[in-house]
Amino acid sequence: MYKFCLESVLVLRYIIKLLIANFLARYILRLQNRSRTNNIYLCLLLIFPLLHVCATGKAQGITIKKKEVSLVDVFRDIRKQTDYDFIYTDKQISTSKKVDIDVDKASIKEVLDKCFANQPLTYKIRDKTITIETRPKPLIEQTAVSAPLEVYGKVTDEVGNPLVGAGVSAKGFNKTTLSNSQGEFTLRGIDEGTILLITYMGYETKEVAARRNVGSLTLTPVHGRLEVVEIVNTGYQSIPKERATGSFVTIGNELLNRSVSPNILDRLDGVTSGLIFNKGLNISGNPSDISIRGRSTLFANPNPFIVLDNFPYDGDITNIDPNDVESITVLKDAAAASIWGVRAGNGVIVITTKKGTAQSKVKIGINATTTVSDEIDLYYKPQMSSSEYIELERFLFDKGNYNSAINTNRNVISPAVAIMLQKRNGQIYEIDAENALSRLKTIDVRRDLQRYIYQKEIVQQYSTNFNGAGKNYNFYISAGLVKNRGNLRGIASDRLSLNANHTIKLLNDKLEVGTGLLFAQNDSQRSNRTYTMPYVPYEELIDSEGNPLSVVRSGGLRKQYTDTAGRGQLLNWDYIPLNEIAANENNRLTDYKFNINLTYKVLSGLQAALNYQFQKGVTDGLQTNTLESFHTRNIINSFTQANSVGQVVAHPVPIGEILGIRFSEYNSNNGRFQLNYTKSLAGRHEINLLAGSEVKDYQSTNRRNTIYGYNPSDASSVPVNHQIDYQQFDATSTGRIAGGGTQDFAVDRFVSFYFNGSYMFDRKYVLSASARRDEANIFGVSANQKGVPLWSLGFLWNLSKEAFYTLPLLSELKLRTSYGFNGNVDKTTSAYLTARSASGRINEWNMPYIEIINPPNPALSWEKVKNFNVAIDFIFKNNLISGSLDYFQKSGLDLIGNGPIAPQTGVVQFKGNSANTRTQGIDLILNKNAIGLGKFKWNSTFLFNYSKEIVTRYKVKLGSNSTIVNNNHTNPLEGYPYFSIFSLPNMGLNESGFALGRINGQTTNNYTTILNNLNPDDLQYHGSATPLFFGSFRNTFSYGNFDLSFNIIYKLDYYFRRFQVFSGSNYSYTLSDFDKRWQKPGDESKTRVPGLVYP
């Protein structure tokens, strides 16, 4: 099939320029509450790379100076400098040879004559189109018959070592082979002169003409090219995998795009070794969304540190468009992550966005996806049926459970209890009561919830990008839009993102200037009044005529009371769920990020880099509760004041709308100066060093306010008194009007100094080291406590390059190890006296007081994490299987925890460096590389991870066993994981259906004694709430350009607690196993669910 390269470069660039300008113009008109100066600045930054490209003109002649380039590369240069275009086929080009071309202002014919000399191809020029044709063979050559050759040779590196598993293929033909353990290969049935391609990961591809003996072929290693050798980006430097002593995982764009989640971090789930998402961790405390090799802190931030384009990212991670991401590197051990110091204790996730492709014309990319998710299955979670619950209510009604609520004449009772009450009071006949209850038994509120409240979630993603490059510059510009309709009616969000990266080289490539701009705006809306937890399972939301119905609600008032209260002077007090669906809360989150990077080549091998980044995030939130909403009507009615005869005399909460206003803003400035030095000596020694310093200033502000009596027609409002305790209208309690303005701010400042270096000898041995000192403004009064030194050492040994290495099964084997320290910081405590004050706090002497949160602690210091890692990397013969096996240990030292203190100080415990943890585990990666026949290929990757963590030191002991069962994470137990699952031992049921427990080895049903028992030995430990084993098995089947992949994720050996289980004396309809309860003697042998009891 012919490639028609007939587009005009000038026209294409002009069209792209118009498209971008039109897009930006439309967007600028949409921007709100932004100054004109900021808008113009944003546009200039976005348009500048395009203007740079579009300003390029045509040369008066053709100038090309290149060696060993393909004809296609030459065609590309000709198209850039002239208006000529080419027509050719892939098969024709596959037979061509690479050429050396050196012309200056030459004509088109002169250039083509040089290119097609000694080629099996020729050309014809018609107007501005050049057609490539196969050169006719001489008559004698056409009649001659040459026998195919058996080609043999050897593939080596620069120092003569054989390269095992190098690919050898005939260009344009389906004939391939691999080099053996001696680097030798044989390829049969090849015509003389056929172009052979020699490939090996980490080395330049080589082309040679086929002959019987091609001899020894030396491949040249390549550094810094992501498409050839795997690159590890630490955020400070990019290094080839071959000299990385640390433990890391790099996820490329192709693998990331196998997921369609609009959240970039979600795309790491199941494809990243050592990383687990803690989904469904139904435990309070301090859980982390993501864990890398277990937990390294107790009360500090437990989430990994996020780096975006070499700088810490302080914005909302959901504002990063996954379509702009080129790769993600996860740094797991000390050698990989310790350069980030005290922020690396939980691991580091380094995100690198896309840049322009070197020396390529403008490319346009478009991506669109739509994801539709099923509605939430409300029947998945077991609960009592309506019939079971009504019978339970009947049992409780007969026992007098509802009498106290009934006697108030105002507290809420369910529709079934109301019917039972009418029957008891003689207001309806028994048969009518039973008929009414029977009707209620047939109703399941989940049907109405599924139909009117829940919906299918739909996520639409659209993105487009423009990228290109010239000799001294490259650029990448993108725009993305994500529209999300949530699984509840009224929930929706729109995210708009703009991204621009530009790099230009000046001063004969000695100076490189890079700029990056990210703008993201996320508009979301939801209803904070959505009805998702009905009071009873037989509630009805709509009548037979389609009219919305009012329902009872937990903590509400009885309808019989609200219909008559206030003698018509109150607002309607009915709660109608279907009238509350509309969104009433709107939030706009806006993130800006701008960075500039200057890199100057001072001397050969020495670079100086100066980097700066500015980030700003603004969140505007508005919650509008109209006068028609139940929220507003309920507050106004509740605070309405009446006299002794029930007549309304005052409205402390004025009649009108209630607005909740929220504003938050952060500003972050990062600066870094760094020196990089690289030197190769005698072809066997390679030194890489970097050293630098960075500073950071982060400031945040938060403001909240509630406005009452708001009138949208003139934006007026009425002030209220938040300091008075008002009698509630139902006369059951007093309360204060919520709200009032609050504000807070925070300032964090860091100063850091760092060093990283590596030495590689003979491409066999690599020694690396790093050191860093972080200082912050939150620690103690002593200067030596403000900072902490952190360091690491790493070593790599390429055992397979040794002369004595003779394992034929493993063509490549590397050993690596690392040891060092990184850290963490707990911003919830300080070395200074910390106290909390609140208005209205009065002590027994009628004086205001403040509460001491933490006493002064000048010895407070950073949390430290000690890391040890040892690993092997391997490739089996013929590159069929490759992978790595890591064993690691992490020890959290001087972690922030609660510790006891002498009572005479005025407090009984303090928060300081009083805890330790330890984690150990294994990371295994196995890659089965492509196998198959012809166009069909099969790749698979197996990930296996084991991670066990325990708390090894904690000074404050918990009290009763019931506290340990329910809240052991508040003061963890030594010798157990932070998230441990304990329970009170279940010894079965007695003959009366009561649950039995254990105290000091004795069976008992004295629940008070069981719950208050102080002996932890009477508890049953089940295990960790986080998996000990996890991983995935990913397979990809390819046929030509079509890929089909699936991924199986597994998590093993962890526990969770079922809370919603019937226990005999808890009466919620949301409980399961009610039908399995003990009901008669003898059932204790068949069930462990207690019988129904009251009280």
Strands (E), 135-292: 149-156, 167-170, 176-178, 184-190, 195-199, 206-209, 213-218, 231-233, 238-240, 248-252, 275-277, 290-292
Which of the two residues, 134 and 5, has the higher pLDDT score? Answer: 134
Neighbour-count burial for 854-863, b at 16+ CB within 10 Å, e otherwise: bbebeebbbb
Amino acid, res. 571 = L
Return the pLDDT at 376.
92
Return the pLDDT at 230.
58
Q: pLDDT band at 139, cuts 50/70/90?
A: very low
Return the pLDDT at 174.
61
Return the pLDDT at 202.
61
DSSP 449: I
Return the pLDDT at 823.
86
Return the pLDDT at 840.
59
Return the pLDDT at 828.
75
> Is pLDDT above 60 for 684?
yes
Residue 608 lies in a domain: no
Residues in the chain, total: 1095
Q: Give the span between the Cα atoms of 813 and 843, in whole angstroms.
A: 71
DSSP 356: P
- Write the pLDDT tens digit of every residue in 21-80: 444 444 444 544 443 334 434 444 444 444 443 333 344 588 988 888 888 888 888 888
Q: How far is CA 226 from CA 239, 444, 690, 706, in A?
A: 10, 58, 21, 53
Domain stops at, among 160, 195, 218:
218
Return the pLDDT at 137.
60
- Write the pLDDT tens digit of every residue in 1028-1060: 999 999 999 988 888 899 999 999 999 998 888
Q: Give the domain CATH number at 212.
A: 2.60.40.1120
Domain, as residue range, for 397: 386-443+531-579
State the DSSP H helix or E strand holding residue 765, giving kind and residue range, or none if neither.
strand 765-776
- Write the pLDDT tens digit of every residue in 359-378: 667 889 999 999 999 999 99
| Domain match, 26 and 100 both | yes
Residue 122 lies in a domain: yes
Residue 781 lies in a domain: no
| Domain match, 154 and 73 both | no
| Domain match, 174 and 189 both | yes
Q: Taking the mean position of all CA atoms in its chain, how far away is CA 831?
A: 33
> Is pLDDT above 80 for 555?
yes
Mean pLDDT taken over the chain: 86
Mean pLDDT check: name the lowest of 192-206, 891-905, 965-979: 192-206
| Domain match, 124 and 168 both | no
- Write the pLDDT tens digit of every residue in 390-439: 999 999 999 999 999 999 989 999 999 999 999 999 999 999 999 999 99
CB distance 26 to 39 below 8 Å: no
Return the pLDDT at 270.
93
Domain stops at, among 166, 187, 218:
218
Roughly how many angstroms between the first and final C-alpha of the chain, as a whole number? 84
State the DSSP H helix or E strand holding residue 851, giving kind and residue range, or none if neither.
strand 851-854
| Domain match, 129 and 157 both | no
Q: Could you give the number of structural domains in the chain?
A: 5
Phi, psi dihedral angles at 1027 (to 5 degrees) = -60, 140
> Is pLDDT above 60 for 224?
no
Residue 852 lies in a domain: no
Domain stops at, among 547, 562, 579:
579
| Domain match, 267 and 189 both | no
| Domain match, 562 and 425 both | yes
Residue 246 lies in a domain: yes
Q: Give the domain CATH number at 314.
A: 2.170.130.10
Return the pLDDT at 279.
84
Mean pLDDT check: name the lowest of 311-315, 652-656, 841-845, 985-989: 841-845
- Write the pLDDT tens digit of every residue in 484-512: 999 999 999 999 999 999 999 999 889 99
Share of the chain above pLDDT 70, in %: 90
- Write the pLDDT tens digit of every residue in 561-617: 998 888 889 999 999 999 999 999 999 999 999 999 999 999 988 999 999 999 999
| Domain match, 109 and 161 both | no
Residue 238 lies in a domain: yes
| Domain match, 132 and 44 both | yes
Residue 505 lies in a domain: no
Is 0.85 surpassed by the pTM of this model? no
Residue 546 lies in a domain: yes
Beta bridge partners of residue 524, listed in sequence order: 493, 587
In the sheet that holds 325-331, the strands lie side by side as: 248-252, 325-331, 348-353, 305-308, 311-312
Mean pLDDT of 235-245: 77
> Is pLDDT above 90 for 866?
yes
> Is pLDDT above 90 for 648?
no
- Write the pLDDT tens digit of every residue in 760-802: 998 899 999 999 988 776 655 455 566 788 899 999 999 988 9
Q: Give the domain CATH number at 127.
A: 3.55.50.30
Mean pLDDT of 1074-1090: 95
Strands (E), 118-162: 121-126, 129-134, 149-156
Task: Give residues with Cβ within 8 angstroms of 1060, minimum separation 6.
Answer: 381, 383, 1068, 1070, 1071, 1072
Return the pLDDT at 1047.
95
Return the pLDDT at 1022.
95
> Is pLDDT above 90 for 140?
no
Q: What counts of helices (H) and strands (E) characterise the chain?
A: 17, 51
| Domain match, 171 and 52 both | no
| Domain match, 117 and 151 both | no
Strands (E), 572-656: 585-603, 606-625, 641-642, 648-650
Mean pLDDT of 136-146: 49
Return the pLDDT at 788.
80
Return the pLDDT at 427.
95
Identify which of 390, 413, 385, 393 has the alpha carbon closest to the alpha carbon of residue 1094.
Answer: 393
Mean pLDDT check: name the lowest of 212-221, 325-334, 1032-1041: 212-221
Share of the chain above pLDDT 90, in %: 53
CA torsion sign for 71, 76, 79, 84 is positive
Return the pLDDT at 841.
67
| Domain match, 203 and 174 both | yes
